[in-house]
Amino acid sequence: MNLNIFNMKLLNAYRILIVLCFAGLTGCANLHDKAQTSSGGEITSRTVDLTNPPVDVWERIRRGYAIPNLNSPLVDKWTQYYASHPEAMQRMADRAGVYLYYIVDEINRRKMPTELALLPFVESAYNPSAYSRARAAGLWQFIPSTGTQFKLKQDWWRDERRNPVASTNAALDYLEYLFELQGSWYLALASYNWGEGSVSRAVNKNLQAGKPTDYMSLKMPAETENYVPKLQAIKNIVADPERYAVILPIVSNEPYFVAIKKNANIDTVVAARLAEMPLAEFEALNPSFNQGVILADMQQEIILPRDKLKIYTDNFMTFEGELTSWKTYPAKEGQAISSIAKEFNVSEANLRRANGLGTQIRRLPSDLAMIIPAPGTIDTQATITAPQSVQAQASMSKKASGKAASHRVKKGDTLSNIAKQYNTTVPTLLAANNLRSPNIKTGQTLRIPN
């Protein structure tokens, strides 16, 4: 058995023993400060020693709590629910351990509340491959349109909503924008779940009726009503896991993974072999690749455990086999796409998707270095978005006019909706218009960059 794994299991067993011992002590509740909730339940707040460096990432999260505690019967309900399922909590926490250092580091860099690092517990159970009935994907559960708005590429090759680095940066960009828009973290979180337009309409409805406009006073769908209470429940448990007999894994204050860019196409199977990792473990860190191949032209990054970087690099330098089972074929103008597919024994649909060729094109309009999928590639129905270089070679892409558009703000417009309309992002619009916040006024003219 690996010595580190043995030490971790031994430490966890020791921590379990401590929890059981505390559970058997009389008056052990006096070891904790208590705060009464509105329903008479208890939430735990543990004193944090700020005179010493944090011992791990969990402690960094506790020290950075900045969203006011929410006290309500729903918080009590969800705290009790999660506490009554400690095995499930531990599984989520184990998955989180891989990503937490990066997420917390990015949150600290942006000076945002660290409890936001716990949001993927609620969104995806910290599963980067999670996919919902609403077509939301990844740790942060972006739906396709919002993912596109925040420049997360989604095509036949990849879905960056499942990329832990790209999706984390996009989610924090979105949450920063929502906080600037709503002026409250509760309302920003509700907007993340329900949509900023829905929350703004609920606030305006209460304003017109002379009612309070805080999170607890709004009429919301059940999912959104329970959303912040769930986060608060996770926050309570992370604040004092021993109280709830939850064992959090050790997450040290150093990066777990590194991201490296590739200058050659490589199959995920080969990359895992070079890193001397099980394929399942490699794919768990790199769940955004749809086709089992990582293309250098797309500037895609490979995520590896930090301790595997040198192993991967050394093996890559001495590797003499084929890096990928995908091929490049110098096709000529006028060749029939169906005949090329037949020659290489691949699906014509996949050949078209791999090269950005729509069904209306039967013969190549010009010479083209075609990508030939590996035999057995899954025939998906995903929307085609081919590498830009391939589209350019096929003369299929339209050139931009070079002129910046403008948009006159109408009643009901939000910066987010305008960004979607023009296929750009909120941060891009903020920068292009020298805006310090996403608040816009009816009649205002916005510059829309290309």
Q: Which residues are catalytic?
A: 123
Question: Distance (Å, rounded) from C-alpha 262 to C-alpha 81?
Answer: 44
Number of neighbouring beta carbons within 10 Å of residue 286: 24
Q: Note whether 135 and 248 are within 8 A (CB).
A: no
Distance CA 14, CA 19 (A): 9
Cβ–Cβ < 8 Å for 174, 56: no
- Supply the DSSP string of 196-224, one letter for each residue: HHHHHHHHHHHHHTT---SGGGS---HHH
* Pairwise CA distance, residues 272 & 283, whole Å: 8
Residues sharing a CB contact under 8 Å with residue 342, sequence separation 6 or more, in sequence order = none
Cα 419 to Cα 415: distance, rounded to the nearest angstrom: 6
Cα–Cα distance, 234 to 189 (Å, whole number): 15
Structural Rg of the chain based on CA atoms: 25
Helix 196-208 / helix 164-182 crossing angle, nearest 10 deg: 20
Answer for the pair 139, 128: CB distance below 8 angstroms, yes or no. Answer: yes
Alpha helix segments (H runs only) across 73-217: 73-83, 86-96, 100-110, 119-124, 144-149, 164-182, 185-194, 196-208
Query: How far is 154 from 383, CA to CA, in rounded Å?
Result: 8
